[in-house]
């Protein structure tokens, strides 16, 4: 988790995001939670059984969610690029079909 915080601090220092140290720590924790829990989420809520493979689209959904979480912290100068990057990971799995 500290590596995530270090990356966020670097983005902050470069002016790509704007966040206080507390926000960096909070964002690092929340990003870590999404990343480490994503496979469990897929298995529990989006997959029909253990024999179903996790698809690239399902993995892209996790990246999309991380970018959604972090998007409010990006400075206006970088929002367009972040929006374009985020679209590379859409469409995400259909969350309306959560079981």
Closest CA to 11 of 74, 98, 85: 74
Closest CA to 69 of 24, 39, 9: 24
pLDDT in tens, the chain (99 residues): 899 999 999 999 999 999 999 999 999 999 999 999 988 888 887 666 666 777 788 888 889 999 999 999 999 999 999 999 998 888 655 554 555
Q: Which domains occur in the chain, in start order?
A: 2-92 (1.10.357.10)
Burial 11-36 (b: 16+ CB within 10 A, else e): bbeeebbebeeeebbebbeebbebee
Alpha-carbon distance 92 to 42, whole Å? 12
Alpha-carbon distance 77 to 74, whole Å? 8
Q: Which two tokens stand for residue 8?
A: 């966020």
């Amino acid at each position: 988790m500290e590596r995530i915080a270090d990356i966020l601090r670097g983005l902050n220092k470069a002016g790509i995001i704007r966040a206080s140290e507390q926000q960096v720590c909070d964002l690092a924790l929340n990003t870590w939670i999404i990343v480490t829990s994503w496979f469990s989420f897929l298995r529990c809520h989006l997959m029909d059984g253990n024999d179903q493979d996790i698809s690239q689209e399902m993995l892209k959904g996790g990246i999309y969610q991380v970018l959604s979480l972090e998007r409010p912290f990006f400075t206006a100068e970088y929002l367009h690029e972040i929006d374009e990057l985020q679209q590379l990971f859409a469409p995400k799995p259909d969350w309306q079909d959560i079981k």
